[in-house]
Amino acid sequence: MHPIRFLKRLSHGFAMVGQVWGLPEKWAKLKAAFKTLLFALVGLTILLLVLWWFLPDDWPIKYAAEYIISTDQVMIERKPHNCDWDSAPLGNKHCHYKSIVTLYDSVGVVIRNDNVNVTPTKIHVEWERVEE
């Protein structure tokens, strides 16, 4: 038998076996399931990023996740409400409060921004009034 004819018959035989076992349908279902899973993961990632963006600055979990420490080690002072529209006197006060984050190492020494090799063990958040 000629080798090319043999290969054609062999490939036809494999195609018949695949059709008998239902491989094309299973492969199509697997591709559809993978595509659905991929879209779900992308959607979940986008949702988590949007939620993280809107997470308030006075929640300890935001700083604990950012610096990978326990929420027990995050101390946040109460945020003042002097600049709120509905605090007396009513109206726009032309100000807001900015968070000031101070990082401490295990000894209690303040970690400077340029010292990125030291892992913080305690975080303190204060608020500074900013005039607009």
Residues 6+ apart with CB under 8 A from 103: 67, 110, 111, 120, 122, 123
- Could you give the CA distance from residue 30 to residue 34 in angstroms, rounded to a whole number? 6
Contact yes or no for 80/131 (Cβ under 8 A): no
Sequential pLDDT tens for the chain (132 residues)? 566 666 666 555 555 555 556 667 888 888 999 999 999 999 999 999 898 888 887 889 888 888 889 999 999 999 888 888 888 888 888 999 998 999 998 888 888 766 667 788 899 999 999 998
Distance CA 57, CA 63 (A): 8
Q: What is the pLDDT of residue 21?
A: 60
Element (DSSP H or E) covering residue 10: helix 3-21
